[in-house]
Structure 1
Amino acid sequence: MPFDVLVALATFALVSSVTPGPNNMMLMTSGVNFGFRRTIPHILGIEIGFGLLLLAVGAGLGALIHAVPALSLVMKAASALYLLWLAWKIAFAKAAAARDETGEAKPISLAQAALFQVVNPKAWAMALVAMGAYVSDDMPVLSVAIVTAAFLVVGIPSAAIWTGFGVALRGFLADPKRLRIFNIVMGLLLVATLWPMLR
């Protein structure tokens, strides 16, 4: 891959990974409610799930979705329903410390975060654009691997930044009223991430 194309890919990967979206909204919320250490499986799950999604799109899944419009519509509907459910859960979540001993409050697990990428509209948009723009017909396997690696390299720091934002807000949000307002706002912002998909 030529150096200028690699720089463009790295820039696209960084900008698309660090800008707001469902993953980043949930990471910040998890940072507030559970802290950084308990959010690490969530971060790793996003990276694993998105890496696998990139590889699947690079292997031809993206072409199948473009070829079968009904499949795209089903995926959009599933994404919208799942994001609305997550937004509801986030909006009415309480801090882990505020829960009782039943252990009800738990951060998203590695497997849940990985599986979420299947219905994450921003992840699909990023994967389809990246594979469409940066995969070379001359070296398809190598360029798919390079695109995937570029996203993984910038993904963990981007996820850590959003989780860190949440952790930084923990003291301010120790007040249950402020935490409730924050969680409701984050739930609404998660719903707002559906807008680009529905246009």
Structure 2
Amino acid sequence: MQQTAFAALIVYAFVMSITPGPNNVMLMSSGLIFGLRRTWPHLLGILAGVLLQIWSTGAGLGALFALEPRLQVALKIVGSLYLLGLATRLWRAAELEESHAGRPIGFTQALAFQFVNPKAWLMSVTVASTFLPPGDGYALRLLTVSLVFAAVGLPCIVVWAAFGAGLRPWLRDRTIARRINRAMALLAALTVLLFWM
């Protein structure tokens, strides 16, 4: 891969990983409710799911989405319903103590969510079409792109979970806890709009 293309890939990975989206909103919520340590399976599940998605798209699955627009609509619907369900749970969570009864999103759930996350599909299809030209050394380029996304993406998503965890001390006050949970619920619900733009 040429130096300019490699630099562009790093910038693209950073922008896609650090900007708000379903994964980052859910990570901030998980950090807020469960703390950073209990959010690690969720973080690693996102990373594994994105890598699996890049490999699947690179292997030709992206072409299927380009040919069948109804699959894209189905993904948007499922992803929207999932996020609206999460927003409802956050809205109803009154305080930190109540949240201890629940469990954070696990590795497998986070991995599976990537396959109904339109932002993740957009990223994977763009990566395959822009940074993975066919030809000799394709497998090595696919591996390189995956490693770049892992190296750049993980610190970016950890920032979101850590930010949520940093808000935890504020949750001792019931009124503040309710306001923060409801603000997180609104953010999760508003993220659904990104799917349909």
Q: Summarize the alignment of residues 61-100 of structure 1 with structure 2, pairs less than 5 Å apart.
A: 61-95=61-95, 97-99=97-99
Q: Which residue number in structure 2 is paired with residue 132 of structure 1?
A: 129
- Asked if structure 2 preserves the Cα contact closer than 8 Å seen for 1:43 and 1:160, the reply is yes
- Asked if structure 2 preserves the Cα contact closer than 8 Å seen for 1:33 and 1:94, the reply is no
How far off its partner does 1:95 sit? Answer: 4.8
Structure 1: gaps (5+ residues): none
Structure 2: gaps (5+ residues): none
TM-score (norm 2): 0.92
Q: Residues 159 and 89 of structure 1: is their aligned pair in 2 closer, same or farther, counting only changes over 3 Å?
A: same
How far off its partner does 1:96 sit? Answer: 5.0
Please identify, of 39-48 and 80-89, the stretch whose mean Cα deviation from structure 2 is larger.
80-89
| One-letter amino acid of the structure 1 residue matched with residue 87 of structure 2 | A
How far off its partner does 1:83 sit? Answer: 1.7
Cα offsets for 1:137-187 (capped at 9, x unmatched): 223322222221111111211121111111111112321221221121112
How far off its partner does 1:56 sit? Answer: 0.8
- Asked if structure 2 preserves the Cα contact closer than 8 Å seen for 1:48 and 1:114, the reply is yes
SS of alignment partner, residue 152 of structure 1? helix
The answer to whether the aligner puts 1:117 opposite 2:114 as a matched pair is yes
Two-structure CA RMSD over aligned residues (Å):
1.6
How far off its partner does 1:94 sit? Answer: 4.7
Q: Which residue number in structure 2 is paired with residue 40 of structure 1?
A: 40
Q: Which residue number in structure 2 is paired with residue 2 of structure 1?
A: 2
Q: Which residue number in structure 2 is paired with residue 143 of structure 1?
A: 141
Q: What CA distance in whole angstroms lies between the structure 2 residues aligned with 1:57 and 1:140?
A: 13
Corresponding residue pairs, total: 196
- Asked if structure 2 preserves the Cα contact closer than 8 Å seen for 1:34 and 1:95, the reply is no
SS of alignment partner, residue 104 of structure 2? coil
Q: Residues 78 and 137 of structure 1: is their aligned pair in 2 closer, same or farther, counting only changes over 3 Å?
A: same
| One-letter amino acid of the structure 2 residue matched with residue 98 of structure 1 | E
Q: What CA distance in whole angstroms lies between the structure 2 residues aligned with 1:76 and 1:28?
A: 22
- What percentage of residue pairs aligned between the two structures are identical? 40
- Asked if structure 1 preserves the Cα contact closer than 8 Å seen for 2:75 and 2:117, the reply is no
| One-letter amino acid of the structure 2 residue matched with residue 63 of structure 1 | A
Cα offsets for 1:80-101 (capped at 9, x unmatched): 22221122122223555335xx
| One-letter amino acid of the structure 2 residue matched with residue 131 of structure 1 | A
Cα offsets for 1:13-51 (capped at 9, x unmatched): 011101111111111111111111111111111111111
Alignment equivalent of 1:183, drawn from 173, 181, 184: 181
| One-letter amino acid of the structure 2 residue matched with residue 172 of structure 1 | W
| One-letter amino acid of the structure 1 residue matched with residue 105 of structure 2 | I
Q: Which residue number in structure 2 is paired with residue 31 of structure 1?
A: 31
The answer to whether the aligner puts 1:173 opposite 2:150 as a matched pair is no
Q: What CA distance in whole angstroms lies between the structure 1 residues aligned with 2:39 and 2:93?
A: 15
Alignment equivalent of 2:103, drawn from 102, 106, 109: 106
Q: What CA distance in whole angstroms lies between the structure 1 residues aligned with 2:188 and 2:98?
A: 23
